[in-house]
Amino acid sequence: MMRSLLLLVGGLVVGHALPSAPSHHTSTPGGGVVTMRIPIEQLDAVQAIGHDVWRTQYTNGSKTHLDLDVHVGHAEKEALLSLPGAEKLGDLIEDVHTLIDAQTKERTGEWDREASKRIIGAKADPFFDEYRPNEVIDEYLQILADEHSDIAEFVPSIGESVQGMPIRAIIIGGEDGGPAVYNQCGIHAREWITHSTCMYLIVELLESPDPEVRRLVDEVRFVFVPNGNPDGYVWSWAASGSRLWRENRQVPPSGSSCFGVDLNRNFDARWNDGPPGCSSASPCAQTFHGASAASEPETQAMQNFAIEVGQTHQYLGAIDWHSFTQLILRPYGYQATPVPPNDAFTAAVGDAMASAIESVHGMAYTNQPSTSLYPVCGCAIDFLYETTQGVTFTMELRPASSLGGGFVLPPAQIVPTGEENMAGFVTYATRVLSGFKDGSWTPAGPSNVTRDY
């Protein structure tokens, strides 16, 4: 129908049996989450003692200290807080297992598919009553494409994961050769709210009666990869897995016992090339960048798909969806200066998005350069900016801090998060399309990036 640009293969296997809900995932580390301030040179020691770092940012713009939310075992907490120069700022989550267990016990696994087909729009759609496992996301994506075949096309596979799982996509609206916006979601497995939010946006783009949404869908091709890390996401649901798993499920390299590569350090954009701490060569670090640029099949699939779309469309930009901390982050990830040529326009769009988001439920999202948070190299935002030459963001969704649950955001916040980010997304698309038409910003043209992995 609409997709002359791609020749992709794959199949969809769906079923109605949902996974059982484990009391808690047996590989999920225990302990609590503490917020602390450290001299930056203590970061390696923090990572060695703690299970992982949930939030990192420079202290008040300083490049000498970091404010961290650290998931740490109860027995290791004293050693963590005794590091030279460390300052405890507070306890955020007393016990992670208790939080996960409570949410898991509330999960029913029920979904009224017929109601989802019948109800118009996402707000009352029962799909968003709770978080959904990978196979149910895939199933609904197929249903939505079938129900809206005049404006949507399901892409069964843009490529496969390490474990051979297909990575799905959906294409909505627009026309071949016209403007396009690329979205990818869920590349960090534990960030469940990103999968749900991207599905919320997809439903609204397909079904919202809002005249502005309908106009945008007529004019712009919206491309979504709702789950760029299916292996990691499945592992975050598995009874034997870890709810807090971040990376893909790459097997350990020689000499290591640690699985996984951080996909957001594996993109072919300044890979392993930036300030200290922008990624890690250690296979056991949560920011392990992998063996080489785009070494991971998931990264390759997303890169090649984004490039392929750009070869037959005029990109307006792209968004890489993450959680948490309620931020709207602009490129570059690896350096503060110089900024991209379109940074002033991008900053203005980000401010408008933040205002639109706050107008819905009063949630404040901060628009800032990515490097104001911490340096990242080999990241998606820089690759997507390079590929689209458009208005590109990393979105960090609810909550604002680990105090709100961190990666374990309550399912009651799925719909409010979707509502506010739909407002922000409509503002983004409207402003960027309008600016492109009136010459407020000028992309370099259809992507001429070519790679073959």
Residue in 296, 396, 419, 420 annotated catalytic: 396
Active site (annotated) includes residue 396? yes
Percentages helix, strand, coil for the chain (3-state, rounded to 5) are 35, 15, 45
Dist CA 9 CA 57 (whole Å): 41
Contact present, 244 and 28 (Cβ < 8 Å): yes
Strands 65-72, 32-39: pairing kind:
antiparallel
SS (H, E, C) 8-66: CCCCCCCCCCCCCCCCCCCCCCCCEEEEEEEEHHHHHHHHHHCCEEEEEEEHHHCCCEE
CA proximity to 427, closest of 301, 332, 319: 319
Contact present, 399 and 145 (Cβ < 8 Å): no
Taking the CA of residue 356 as centre, how many other CA atoms within 13 Å lie in the half-sphere pointing to its CB? Answer: 21
Spatial neighbors of 191 by CB under 8 A, at least 6 apart, are 322, 323, 324, 397, 407
Dist CA 248 CA 261 (whole Å): 6
For residue 276, give both structure tokens: 């200290």
Token look-up 């919206």 returns 222
Dist CA 60 CA 47 (whole Å): 22
Dist CA 89 CA 36 (whole Å): 5
Measured between alpha carbons, how far is residue 440 from residues 222, 339, 391, 433, 434 in Å?
A: 21, 17, 12, 10, 8
Question: Residue 188 — left, alpha, or beta (φ > 0 → left; ψ -120 to 50 → alpha)?
Answer: beta
Mind giving me the DSSP string for 188-214? Answer: STT-HHHHHHHHHHHHHHHH---HHHH
Handedness of CA 416, 221, 390, 344 (dihedral sign): negative
CA proximity to 126, closest of 135, 113, 136: 113
Residues forming the active site: 396
